[in-house]
Amino acid sequence: MKNRGSMLRGVGIGMAVGGITGLIGSSLMSKPAKRQTKKNVTKAMRTVGEMIDSIQYMLK
């Protein structure tokens, strides 16, 4: 059980760092590049959500 908590904490820290990096990077990019990046991030977030759902299903 302890490993599960530390894993979730690590995932949360990774998401926070990724979000901050994305904010900094988006401020440096041109408008068309921002649009393409937003599409890619949306696809990636959907995929991560599906992976988490699958993992939760397997743990039940």
pLDDT of 59 > 70? The answer is: yes
pLDDT of 16 > 80? The answer is: yes
Cβ contacts of 34 within 8 Å, gap of 6 or more? 26
Q: Give me the pLDDT at residue 2, please.
A: 59
Q: Give me the pLDDT at residue 4, please.
A: 66
Spell out the domain ranges in the chain.
Answer: 2-59
Tokens of 20: 């901050």
Q: Which residue has the higher pLDDT, 3 or 11?
A: 11
Q: Give me the pLDDT at residue 3, please.
A: 66
CA-nearest of 27, 18, 10 to 45 is 18
Q: Give me the pLDDT at residue 57, please.
A: 81
